[in-house]
Amino acid sequence: MNSYEADSNQLLNELQALDFALVELTLYLGSHPYDENAIKQHNELAEKRHATRNVLENHNRESSTSEDSDSSGWRWSLTPWPWHV
């Protein structure tokens, strides 16, 4: 596993953990809508999730543009399409 894959996996794991926490807080807030601490925590995690997703998207975009283009064209077109597998 190269460092790009390790970074992507770490970001994906963090995104999944944030998604889980947000779902749980959303469920909790459904029955405790006035819990200010839970609302604050939900908003903080939502901001962190948004930032993490942006970092992951930028990371993937930078990697794909540097790895996919070469002198022979775009490599993504050379891989088997789902209906060829």
Q: Does some domain include residue 68?
A: no
Q: Does some domain include residue 84?
A: no
Rounded CA separation 18/20 (Å): 5
Q: Does some domain include residue 82?
A: no
DSSP letters for 15-81: HHHHHHHHHHHHHHHHH-TT-HHHHHHHHHHHHHHHHHHHHHHHHHHHHHHHHHEETTEEGGGGSPP
First to last CA, the chain: 24
Q: Does some domain include residue 76?
A: no
Write out pLDDT tens, residues 11-28: 999 999 999 999 999 999
SS3 call for 6: helix
Q: Does some domain include residue 17?
A: yes
Q: What is the pLDDT of residue 84?
A: 63
Full residue range of the structural domain in which residue 38 is found: 3-59
Domain count, the chain: 1
User: Which residue ranges of the chain lie beneath pLDDT 70?
Assistant: 1-2, 4, 62-85
- The pTM of this model reads 0.68
Q: Does some domain include residue 65?
A: no
Q: Does some domain include residue 78?
A: no
What six digits make up the tokens of 30?
């459904």
